[in-house]
Structure 1
């Protein structure tokens, strides 16, 4: 007999949780629209070749493939070692690859600088664990057609606005640039062919510290002189002075002679974000060891941090090379993705104070026409649900409160619509 549980790593969303998630999504959507982004929708299914074009990083290994129609047993056996022979479609594992395909397909109908919102589920064959699901919602904003620092600044200002609107004050964004990472590794002496592995190790700095990083690099067989140079850089003496995000902070965190063009690009982002947020202290932090795992990033990369949690609440970066894979013409692009599931868990069960949800508990003998009239009279105040009175009256009210209802009234036969006394739940 089939189990009644959802597949591992996927969840049923109960009514109260669904209502809470929709409230969060409405805030996210409303604030992003206010910043001039336009919402689009793409299919949840994409072609196998597109999902496995080498631009999705490790996520390509986690994609769910869809079996080709019409395969017989012999064809399935023959293709057992070749997923492409068995599948022509797959479920999307992120929203960026579908967006690149969307832009290439619809470019003639879009403005030269296109600001997109995408909100929807994605699927990855993850190993299920706390906070990591096989189906989850992503909330992305992207800007295509703008290669200037304005694009990054708009994404960051809009996302900080969303976080503030959700009540999470004090958020910051860690910022780096893939070109900075490449320049640093080159200056230390790491070869081009070994850099992907070196970056995987550097990405663990917060977890294993400088000693662990150096030890792992030596175990990997990385160029010994480059590891020595990197080790010396990690252990260089530093003053404890505080520097806000800007040229001084960036240059102090990097080896000498960092490329002026890249530093100026980062400084320009900081100045624009400061102007856009009105913050006296720019809510950005330069982190030369921020890596982010997606191989398609070509420039600025960033992650959203909040002091209440140790993990990031979102992130993104510039991926100028992706759209050209589909269009045959390079188009600059940069995106920011909010970790909606993490935000939903972090924000808990706070109800929307402006919304009222009413339960009308009625006696069994109240005529149907009267019940509908009572309900109609209250619909302007919010949600209204009819419940027949039961012996366990207290249990009924507790269940209604758990479902997100905020008030109740009792209804007897002959009462006038609009005369009910509303009492708070909980």
Structure 2
């Protein structure tokens, strides 16, 4: 029977050219984050199942890949529950592992701790274009900083990283979970209906106000006056300049705590000094349930959704250690930005084409000399097949030049491919 050599559904193989682009993008991002003081850490792909199902990951917990315990019998009783068979799972994001990491090593870490992570995560998504079951996340977090310095610095560092990889025209969208709760209350949304209200408002860019109103008064069971009040308040907060954020917020949402107004105004002032567009977005919600304060996303005109997102999660670490620790993070959608980045021009790559009668030590010596002289990539490749056809293959593999090496002959000069 013929073996299926395709990768597992929802995953993909990456060819050398794709990996080279990803390495280049990651290197540029990492260089920016390093200059801001973020230190790279690594956490395991596996986490204990009780941590991954502790309510920290919102809907992502429904997409968890669970791993069976070792030593199970081949046959189990029919009434056996799945939860009793697993003890580990594949991480679905990098934030939950970070909270465990910090809880374990906090005594050894600088304060505040600036963390940088890059690695694969797994979610049991329905495979489709742009959505994979295995993908990479690229996160920075500030733990131990209670002021909006954390939010402002995370946004500045991330916009600088995106600019470094060549993405221009980005827009930062800013909001606050505390503001959203106060707005819902001021509009007359009952406390137990806040979560559903947020979910519906988050769809505004997809279904418009008519769709939002229909869902609020239909599926959500809210009075038409509540939906109308919410719309009026949200529209009054659109397109606020930095110097108007505080005054307008306090006027439109009278019950909003003063520290929330001050924090948002300070962050807006910091954003106004950056070389990027930004907007206070009263409809920005973000899906993770652990956010406690400011939330933000970055959009790009060529991307369907956001290309980066994050926010403050001051209560998440406290679930592990019993004491809340201020924390804030930002995650770049690495797969999305790689698709937006222009391919790098081919680097200088030379093939030393050596004939069958050339001793291997001689071929390697010539390749070594060329590396030292040219500083580029040089590989020894044995001659085979028709010469023009082999040159075509080399060019398709990314080589830019070649040198013919024959026994007892001067190797001559490197010749460019495509002009031989």
Q: TM-score, normalised by structure 2?
A: 0.91
The DSSP-based 3-state class of the residue aligned with 1:78 is coil
Higher mean displacement: 209-218 or 403-412: 403-412
Distance 2:60 2:406 in 1: 59
Paired residue total: 414
**Runs of 4+ displaced beyond 6 Å:** none
3-state DSSP class of the match of 1:364? Answer: coil
Residue among 363, 366, 369 paired with 1:371? 363
Alpha-carbon distance between aligned partners in 2 of 1:319 and 1:309, rounded to the nearest angstrom: 26
Please give the alpha-carbon distance, in whole angstroms, between the structure 2 residues aligned to 1:285 and 1:390. 60
Greater displacement, 124-133 / 190-199 = 190-199
Superposed, 1:6-405 pairs within 5 Å as 6-73=7-74, 75=76, 77-79=78-80, 82-224=81-223, 225-233=225-233, 244-248=241-245, 251=248, 255-257=252-254, 258-275=256-273, 277=274, 279=275, 283-351=277-345, 355-380=347-372, 381-405=375-399
Q: CA deviation at 1:260?
A: 3.2
| Structure 2: distance between partners of 1:424 and 1:303 | 45
Shift of 1:232: 4.2
Instruction: State which drifts further: 140-149 or 377-386.
Output: 377-386
* Higher mean C-alpha deviation, range 369-378 or range 103-112: 369-378
Deviation of 1:413 (Å)? 2.8
Counterparts of 2:23 and 2:186, CA distance in 1: 48
Deviations 1:146-202 (A, max 9, x none): 011111111111111111111112222111111111111111111121111111111
Moved more, 392-401 or 196-205: 392-401
Q: Aligned-pair RMSD on alpha carbons?
A: 2.4
Normalised to the residue count of structure 1, the TM-score between the two structures is: 0.90
Tell me how far 1:402 sits from its aligned partner: 4.1
- Structure 1 unmatched ranges of 5 or more: none
Q: 1:421 to 1:24 in 2, by over 3 A?
A: same
Query: For the residues of structure 2 that align with 1:425 and 1:52, how far apart are their CA atoms?
Result: 57
Whether contact under 8 Å (1:64, 1:90) holds in the other structure is: yes
CA contact (8 A) 2:355 2:406 kept: yes
Aligned to 1:4: 5
* Alpha carbons 1:245, 1:284 under 8 Å: kept: no
Counterpart Cα distance in 2 of 1:330 and 1:252 = 28
- Do the aligned residues in 2 keep the contact of 1:16 with 1:403 (CA within 8 Å)? no
Deviations 1:48-107 (A, max 9, x none): 00000011011101010000112225646333xx43211100000000000000000101
Q: Do 2:249 and 2:261's aligned partners in 1 also have CA atoms closer than 8 Å?
A: no
The answer to whether the 8 Å contact 1:62/1:126 transfers is yes
Q: Structure 2 unaligned runs (5+)?
A: none
CA distance in structure 1 between the partners assigned to 2:379 and 2:319 by the alignment:
52
Paired residue for 1:420? 413
